[in-house]
Amino acid sequence: MKSTKKRLSELQHLSFPSDEEQLEETTLKRKKLAIKDEIYAMMHHAQAGH
């Protein structure tokens, strides 16, 4: 995950990203959001079980 965060940061700081770099940034953001959603769902499920 650290390398993903680092790469996302690098892409966000580019002044003129290429189409490929823009696509990569969007893909990484979606993956990051999906992971956050999974963590939230697990936390919610764990709390509901108590």
Mean pLDDT taken over the chain: 92
Q: Indicate if the pLDDT at residue 49 is higher than 70.
A: yes
Task: For residue 8, give Cα distances in angstroms to 16, 19, 43, 48, 49.
Answer: 15, 15, 25, 34, 35
DSSP, collapsed to helix, strand or coil, labels residue 4 as: helix
Q: How many other CB atoms sit within 10 Å of the CB of residue 7?
A: 13
Q: Indicate if the pLDDT at residue 42 is higher than 80.
A: yes
pTM of the entire predicted model? 0.76
- Residue % of the chain over a pLDDT of 70: 94
DSSP string, 5-47: HHHHHHHHT-SS--HHHHHHHHHHHHHHHHHHHHHHHHHHHHH
